[in-house]
Structures are given as structure tokens and as C-alpha cells.
Amino acid sequence: MNRPHDVTPPNPWDIIVRVTHWVVAGVVVANALFTKGGGTLHVWLGWIGMAFLAVRLVWGIVGSPEARFAAFPPRPIAALSHVNRVLRGRVREYPSHNPAGAMMIYVLWLSLATVMGTGLVLTKGATPWEIGRQQAAVAAGDWSALATDGGEEGSGGEKASGIVGEIHQIGGNLLIVLAVIHLAGVALESVRLQRNLVRPMIRATRD
């Protein structure tokens, strides 16, 4: 009888896991490297990312067994132990995400929530349509489109916005760093397991 750590992960992952993974990853890369902060496209992508992240979190409660939070709980000690085994070439298999991958997922989700939350604060919850109308009005010379209701006037409000903006920027940069670490971990474990761990997150059919 196979022990839990001898069970091979899904091949492939279910469609919700795969789609939400790649959409959110694409949003992070696009907004970090290719869009202008506060711009219409940046805001559009942010809202799309929030929607797909929300779907993934709900799927963690009601989705397939391997996708549920219960299948990959955050266990820091187990994560460190797994990293140690990988470095020593003694990699175990898990029916869902391995402990190190699980910890990375939760850290990424927390970072995403921080970036998205601060983005909402910075835009005052404005939708992409509202942002687009404001920018079009400003381009036409109507600066009144940027007028506020006075709730955050003065140096206190400006300072608060500045702090939120810094958190947003730092969080965005952190997401890129975490993504690089994540990719490095996947590559290393793929070599150790002699099995492509990226393919199950892409392919649409089982062998």
C-alpha cells in the first residue's frame, strides 16, 4: 500500500487550478514589467487577477481533492525538511503540492492580496471604466475629473497614500522575486525527480 508521500500528484491538475495559475501569473508579470502603474490596462489586469484569485480560493474549499487547502496545509517545518531532502537528492512524492510548494503558494497568495488590496486603496476602488474616463478627461484638459471629495486632503492624506503606494510597489517587486524562487524550485525538483513538473500545469489530457 502506498504511503501519502509515494503518491504521484495529478497529471494534469484540474482545469480551475491550471487556468487560475496561469492567468494570475500573467497578470503579475504584465503589471510588474509592461504596464504603467495606475494606468487603465494596469487596473484592468489587477481586477482580472483579483477575480481569478478569488475563484482559486473558493476552489480551495469546494474543488477537487488535490486542489483543496486541506491537501496542502501550510507547514513551515515540513517545508524546510522537504527543501533539505531535495538538496540531498531524496525527494518524496505527494498527492498534492509538496510542503515547500505549499508554503510558497500561501506566501504568494498573501503577497497578491496585499498588492491587490493596496491597489484598491490607491485607486479608491475605481473600476477600469472609471479610470479610463478620468484619464481621457485629463488628456482633454479637464483636470476636474481628478477632484476628490476632500476626505483625504492635507499632508496626512498624502502621507498615507505615499505609504500605501510604497507597500504596493514593494509587494509587486516581492512577487517577482518569489516567482523566480518558485521557478527555480520547480526546475530543481524536476531534475531531482526526473519528471517535468511544469507539464501537468499545462496539458489538458491525461496519458
State pLDDT tens for residues 140-156. 544 444 455 544 455 55
Model confidence pLDDT, tens digit, residues 3-34 = 444 556 677 899 999 999 999 999 999 999 99
Q: Specify the pLDDT at position 143.
A: 42
Model confidence pLDDT, tens digit, residues 160-201 = 788 999 999 999 999 999 999 999 999 998 888 888 888 889
84 backbone dihedrals φ, ψ, rounded to 5°: -60, -40
Q: Specify the pLDDT at position 4.
A: 45
Q: Specify the pLDDT at position 168.
A: 93
Rounded mean pLDDT, 74-86: 94
Region of 127 please: left (phi>0), alpha (psi -120 to 50) or beta.
beta
- Domain 13-140+154-201: which CATH number of 3.90.1720, 1.10.10, 3.40.50, 1.20.950: 1.20.950
Beta-carbon contacts of 21 under 8 Å, excluding residues fewer than 6 positions away, are 13, 56, 201
- Every domain of the chain and the residues it spans: 13-140+154-201
Give the integer Cα–Cα distance in Å for 206 and 167.
42
Q: Specify the pLDDT at position 92.
A: 81
Side-chain-side CA neighbours of 2 within 13 Å: the count stands at 9
How many CB atoms sit inside 10 A of residue 155's CB? 8
Q: Is the dihedral of CA 63, 66, 71, 75 positive or negative?
A: negative
Model confidence pLDDT, tens digit, residues 94-105 = 889 999 999 999
Place 73 in a pLDDT band, splitting at 50, 70 and 90. Answer: very high
